[in-house]
Structure 1
Amino acid sequence: MLTNWCTVGATNVEQQMKKIKDCGKDSKARKGPVIPRIPPKRAEGDQTVFQVYKGVKTFAFCKKNNLLVTGGMDRIIRMWNPYMSGRPTGMLRNHTAPICYLSISAEDAKIFSISTDNTIKIWDIVDQTCLFTACSKTSGIKGELTACHYTSGTRSLCVAADTLALLHLRLRPPPEPHLVVSHKEPVLCCKYNKEFRHVVSCSEGSVVKVWDFETGKHLFEFSGAHGGAAITCLTFDVSGRRLITGGRDGCLKIWNYNNGHCLNTLKREAKCAEVCDCTYVEVNRSRSDLSQLGVNLELGNDIFCGNLYCKC
């Protein structure tokens, strides 16, 4: 079923009210019977017709936001531009029963709706999302919900049922004005050090940063670790005291990451491709000899092993 719903300009309404008052005065002045007059046909340009599926049970208008909202049996709140009746500017779907009441708060840019299952919803006009939902049972409201009014100063919603109920709303804090970032360039790799409970992150700008895992506090950083080349991978030794990084310059570097001191650099004599991954292993471990190797994987599926350091 498609129902036509129309709005009429304010000028014609005022003229009609003036004619009704004049007719009333004339009828009192005349003693004879009043002959009903057929009102003239209204011009087509004086009205706007909105076609709404299953009709309209309630509507609300906000002049400040230039917004008209309608609700009905199909459980959908339609947002309209009053001067463009072709299609709604937004459709809010979340109610599970026909909508019986609508209201708009121009100051807070919110829509308030009540459905026949005694559910109240608050909508954001800009984002067109549902911000708050409450039902009569969970809120302790007795009787059928008929209307509501929002007070922005106290952030409370006054609901009319068998008695007036006041709901204090706890709104979410507004989002941060800007997103806090850890690096200025894209982060290409990061790893957790369980010995010191640190997180080490490396960026495309060749910057190494150390963070406290518990608090998220930035502890230390050093830049230009691989010159101007991006750091593509990292790992730790067994003790967790040494950081090994690989970059697009084809180098592996060993660091004391607590002070940013480079202990050693591993690089092939020939031209090296980008290091895309690296790991740490120990071989030939004994009481008198400890040889430690770093294994890195280069682009092109080449594997290179180099001595990180030897301890005898």
Structure 2
Amino acid sequence: MARESEVRSLLTLSSKSEDSSALAARLRWRNAALHDRCNMKDMERIKEAFEESYNNKMGPLEFRDLLKTLLNVEYDDEEFNILFMKMNTSRSGEVDWEELVSHLILGYFGNDAENQRESLQPPIMGLPTILRSQHRHPISRICFCPDVEKICTMYYHFSEDINEQCMLICGDVGGNVRVLLFSPVARGPFKNEAGRASITLRHVDLQRRPSMLPELHLIELPRLHAEWVRQVSYYKSLHCVVSCATCPDALLMCDIHGSKTHNMFKVEKGIQCFTFDEEAHVLVTGGPDCSVRVWNPFVPAKPSVTFIGHHAGITCIVLQNKGQTIYSLSRDRAIKVWDVQGQVCIQSYIDVPSVIGERTPISAVYNPATREFILAAIKIAIVVLDEQLNPLHTDGFTHSRAVSKILYNPLFKVIITCGLDSIIIVWNPVTGKRNVLIRDAHVRMLHAETVPVEITAACFNPGNLLLLSGARTGELKVWNFNTGLCLRVMTIEHMCEVTGCFWVEGRILAIGWNRHVVEFEDTGMATSGKVWETRHTDDVLAAAVRPPLTIATASYNSELVLWKLETGQPYR
């Protein structure tokens, strides 16, 4: 049950204005979050008050009176002390305008519903599954057909309405598009009949003598593009055929008869691939210019958004979340994940192995039912896009990998969790919401790419104001966990896992796989520390400290050593 001081209470006071006889209702808030009470006018008045104060700063009493006067917010002594310490990041005993604004921004970010719903698990995880191809030559085209158990090179459109004809749409090297129509019930030429011989026909034969195959109707859309057609599809809600080519007249959306709709999307170097979401009316294209473009299908003049980041031509596009998430595959086997609403790249996935075909063009298809992205060349690779969360693994709001450390801060009354996913989360134990989220707390460079590093140890400083974290690479970092700001970086030894860290008065102690205790001063910015005498013959895996006298360390081979904290010497 939450304390009464933690619940916002509303008291209505009535006062009579000198200029008017009407009564105005005034709201009195208790222990309220500042970002819930400040509007633009309040911010302007608070800024004026800071400008009028001495050195543009305010002490605790002056700032508390300001909040009570301007915002009608009152705080209990304990709650105000916590609030003031969160804002006073410089630990000078006074807050300025910049510190207040930073605190409000963090509050608004924490209240953002999108931030609370944000999953900590990246869209693509792990390595792809590699399958051996049964073809003698590289695969040139791969498609997924829900109702046809075979691989084909054309686009099938199957209508759920039995009164609407099914379509086979194909494009050729001359820039022509042909549509073959047949009944979904009679199945046209694909109906098996006993005693009926197989017939081989070319489209020229259907043009000249349609009576040869009355079950199949051919519609030709000639010379839509100046180059050969790269991809075709059918936009059902608009009854349009969509085709693209790598020429300036890059993508055409037109109805079957070419009379009602005829939208031409122009891109200088053309379009290699496209996809769309009919419900959201979002069209996404990619091409040789390495750019991903998001279009409104009704506005062909200019793309709504352009994403730049690939270093090779784009060969395949996949949409998820009603067009809000884009996956783009380029010729160099890199997959990038784009957030349309935020207009940012969420992830760059480079783990598609070269064994599927290093110099062979890659064909790809996406199965929305299983969320599998199937890539094919010499071999076949299967990558799962945005795998559905396993409730036994993560709920999507907490860590996506094991939690390595959990701490409770009695000063700010928050819970801090550190995970092997290199994420630090500050939790409000009353509401269960994330106050602060620190991604990629520890990282290292691998093949010119930033890779997150597992967090293996953490502790608070003696005053519970700062957080110290240790990583598998031997790196230590000091954090202001209320703002997510890294204040200092230290190292015990390169690529030597930190298994424990302690912050005692004036000193930081760390242990790890280097078999000894490393001591740092808690002031200054030194990155290396003093090494204590080596007494262990194997990796130190555990330690405990009892200030101000003793620290105990234990190694993998069962050695236990007791040390004097004051001198750094072992007990005899």
Same fold per TM (> 0.5)?
Answer: no
Q: Which has the higher strand share?
A: 1
How high is the TM-score relative to the length of structure 1?
0.40
TM-score between the two structures when normalised by the length of structure 2 = 0.24
Larger radius of gyration: 1
